[in-house]
Structure 1
Amino acid sequence: MAFGLTFEIPIATMLLITSGITSKRALMEKRPFIIIFCFVVGMFLTPPDIIL
């Protein structure tokens, strides 16, 4: 499920820009927050280590 969602993000971004909901400038300004959000979501989606 996580990989399927990951491959849909570029399509969703393109649809948001072409429909006028957001702009490239707004996404460029929010890029650092989006990157941190992706790392946090990835942290929760990955399974824990077996050996601690």
Structure 2
Amino acid sequence: MGEKFGVLFDGWASGTLHFVAVYGLFSKGVFYIKRCLRSRPLNMDKELMFTLI
């Protein structure tokens, strides 16, 4: 992992389903690498909690 890193939160929809995701980003030379740490469907009826392993 490089000297610079960050966390990206993203959300999107596919039809009536909504999703959220957490990505880790880091630099490797002149490139930035993005890795999905966790993604899941968003349940509008319940509280959303992420458990990162």
Asked whether the two chains share a fold, i.e. TM above 0.5, the reply is no
Which structure: greater strand fraction? 2
Larger RCO (CA within 8 A; separation ≥ 6): 2
State which structure, 1 or 2, has the greater radius of gyration over its C-alpha atoms. 1
Q: TM-score, normalised by structure 1?
A: 0.24
Which structure: greater helix fraction? 1
